[in-house]
Amino acid sequence: MHASSKKQREIASRIDSDVAISKWKDWKWQIAHSIKDIDTFEEVLEITCPAEKRKGLEETISTFPMSITPYYLSLINVDDYENDPIFMQAFPSVNELHVERCDMEDPLAEESDSPVTGITHRYPDRVLFLVSNTCSMYCRHCTRKRKVGDVDYIPERETIQNGLDYIREHPEIRDVLLSGGDPLMLPDEYLDWILTELRAIPHVEVIRIGTRMPVVLPYRITDELVAMLKKHHPLWVNTQFNHPKEITASSTEAIRKLADAGIPLGNQSVLLANVNDCPRIMKRLVQKLVMIRVRPYYLYQCDLSEGLSHFRTSVRKGIEIMENLIGHTSGFAVPTYVIDAPRGGGKIPIMPTYVISWSSNKVILRNYEGVITAYTEPDDYKPIYCDRNCETCALQLKLDSADESKAVGIAALLSDYDSTISLVPQDTERLDRRNGE
């Protein structure tokens, strides 16, 4: 099939006058012809960046390189490109060089929580496994900006082996998230090998792939790729659509292939200033996503990575967006709004307040319309006392006792079987005095 629009044909011929237009849908051609410098960008789109910005832009690219697939570039509206959401996500801004006091190189402390190269083990039962160091498009809002443009390479088999060994040696890991970079930058056979190795580990129950390919290079989702992925169920794919404009005929087709292969699809959007920080845009985005069978999963508050300050919104804006979604549209179209806590605290959900008050037997709630209502709680509810011994419990699930470790956090405070009474910060002067320090 040929490039679908006249614009794409024009762009293709400006990039590569020798090549048959049928290559447009060849993902390797797209990667080989990604736009990496401003001259080419201007030539291909027939626009001229303001001369006074030029030097700053070159400087930005030398710190945070640029790479835009011809496909993604073709979605830019040249008539108002500076306000275009595709342009803003793909083209550098001099603001990236501006470092705020709160900015950090690795705000999520992914490296401190990394037992072996490529693995971040933060949560009890799942790990993040970085299996690729590169992407087809360098998102300007990348949270791993510190790594972008480090030598573009596929990690050595040995590095991957070490990651696999770690997962093998930790039976508590039941969910592995492949990320990167973009795991779909790997050749099919290489990814097939990783997935096969993971599948051979009995305690790995689910595998997830985080990829932006359906959005920035949908032609990567080939029939061969999908046939390979299908062998490794249960496999989930999470992608990142940030704006309704990204839902095109090509991205819809890529998603259709994945969904038809029985792969459940989720979307992780990032809330970005001047791109999608609008309740109406977000509502349209999530509604369009469920139409293409993608379930909105997370809406991220923009991280505190260096170079992202111009993309950050207030948290108030995120709550306003959630207020405009919950109840106003299908429940399964509503993502969870999260802040990924600095220093590796993990994702913390944020939402408007719906519980207004409480008495001994009533909870007072408000709904999305502003209706305030009382829910009467039962007078005689007797919760089952839990000593974690499922054998003697009346509830009908006989769990092996071994598969759960110690209770964590507030769950420990709430539980019957854990004797923890308080969670106490360890670095207070009061505790120092107690310990005679």
Ligand X SMILES: *Cc1c(COP(=O)(O)O)cnc(C)c1O
In sequence order, which residues have a C-beta less than 8 Å from that of residue 60 and are 6 or more positions away? Answer: 92, 93, 94, 96, 97
For 322, the 3-state DSSP assignment is: helix
Binders in 257-286 for ligand X, by CB under 6 A: none
The rounded distance, in Å, linking the Cα atoms of 114 and 129 is: 10
- The residues pairing with 198 across neighbouring beta strands, listed in sequence order, are none
For ligand X (CB under 6 A), the number of binding residues is: 7
- Is residue 178 packed enough to be buried (19+ CB in 10 Å), middle (13-18) or exposed (0-12)? buried
The rounded distance, in Å, linking the Cα atoms of 155 and 193 is: 13
For the bound state, the minimum distance from the C-beta of residue 266 to ligand X, rounded and expressed in Å, comes to: 8
By CB under 6 A, tell whether 177 contacts ligand X.
yes
Q: Is 122 a catalytic residue?
A: yes
CA angle, 26 then 27 then 28, to 5°: 95
For the bound state, the minimum distance from the C-beta of residue 5 to ligand X, rounded and expressed in Å, comes to: 36
CA angle, 149 then 193 then 112, to 5°: 45
61 vs 173, which CB is nearer to ligand X? Answer: 173
Q: What per-residue string of b and e applies to 83-93 under the rule 16 or more CB within 10 Å gives b?
A: ebbbbbbbbbb
Q: Is 101 a catalytic residue?
A: no
Catalytic residue, candidates 140, 142, 245, 283: 142
For 349, the 3-state DSSP assignment is: strand
R_g of the chain computed on alpha carbons: 24
Binders in 29-58 for ligand X, by CB under 6 A: none
Sheet with strand 372-376: strands edge to edge: 355-358, 362-366, 372-376
Catalytic residue, candidates 25, 126, 245, 257: 126
For the bound state, the minimum distance from the C-beta of residue 344 to ligand X, rounded and expressed in Å, comes to: 8
Judged by CB under 6 A, which stretch of 118-126, 131-139, 281-289, 357-365 contacts ligand X? 118-126
For 269, the 3-state DSSP assignment is: strand
Q: Is 123 a catalytic residue?
A: yes
Question: Which of these, 297, 303, 302, 301, lies nearest to 336 by C-alpha position?
Answer: 297
Q: Is 135 a catalytic residue?
A: yes
Q: Is 144 a catalytic residue?
A: yes
How many Å is the maximal CA-CA distance in the chain? 79
206 vs 259, which CB is nearer to ligand X? Answer: 206
136 vs 268, which CB is nearer to ligand X? Answer: 268
Question: Which of these, 61, 59, 89, 57, lies nearest to 73 by C-alpha position?
Answer: 89
For the bound state, the minimum distance from the C-beta of residue 111 to ligand X, rounded and expressed in Å, comes to: 11
Catalytic residue, candidates 53, 81, 123, 192: 123
By CB under 6 A, tell whether 126 contacts ligand X.
yes
The rounded distance, in Å, linking the Cα atoms of 304 and 270 is: 13
For the bound state, the minimum distance from the C-beta of residue 123 to ligand X, rounded and expressed in Å, comes to: 5
Q: What are 127's two structure tokens?
A: 């790990």
By CB under 6 A, tell whether 168 contacts ligand X.
no
44 vs 289, which CB is nearer to ligand X? Answer: 289
Out of 9, 122, 168, 232, which residue is the one contacting ligand X (CB under 6 A)?
Answer: 122
Q: Are 24 and 15 spatial neighbours (Cβ–Cβ below 8 Å)? A: no
Q: What are 314's two structure tokens?
A: 């207030």
| DSSP codes joined into one string, 38-88 | HHHHHHHHT----HHHHHHHHHHHHHS---B-HHHHTTS-GGGGGG-HHHH
The rounded distance, in Å, linking the Cα atoms of 436 and 281 is: 57
By CB under 6 A, tell whether 128 contacts ligand X.
yes
By CB under 6 A, tell whether 81 contacts ligand X.
no
By CB under 6 A, tell whether 347 contacts ligand X.
yes
Catalytic residue, candidates 14, 174, 347, 366: 347
For the bound state, the minimum distance from the C-beta of residue 295 to ligand X, rounded and expressed in Å, comes to: 13
Q: Is 303 a catalytic residue?
A: yes
For the bound state, the minimum distance from the C-beta of residue 126 to ligand X, rounded and expressed in Å, comes to: 5
For the bound state, the minimum distance from the C-beta of residue 171 to ligand X, rounded and expressed in Å, comes to: 17
66 vs 135, which CB is nearer to ligand X? Answer: 135
81 vs 236, which CB is nearer to ligand X? Answer: 236
281 vs 351, which CB is nearer to ligand X? Answer: 351
58 vs 205, which CB is nearer to ligand X? Answer: 205
Out of 114, 120, 239, 269, which residue is the one contacting ligand X (CB under 6 A)?
Answer: 120
Q: Is 347 a catalytic residue?
A: yes
Out of 123, 190, 193, 236, which residue is the one contacting ligand X (CB under 6 A)?
Answer: 123
Q: Is 340 a catalytic residue?
A: yes
Binding site for ligand X (CB under 6 A): 120, 122-123, 126, 128, 177, 347
Residue numbers annotated as active site:
122-123, 126, 135, 139, 142, 144, 303, 340, 347
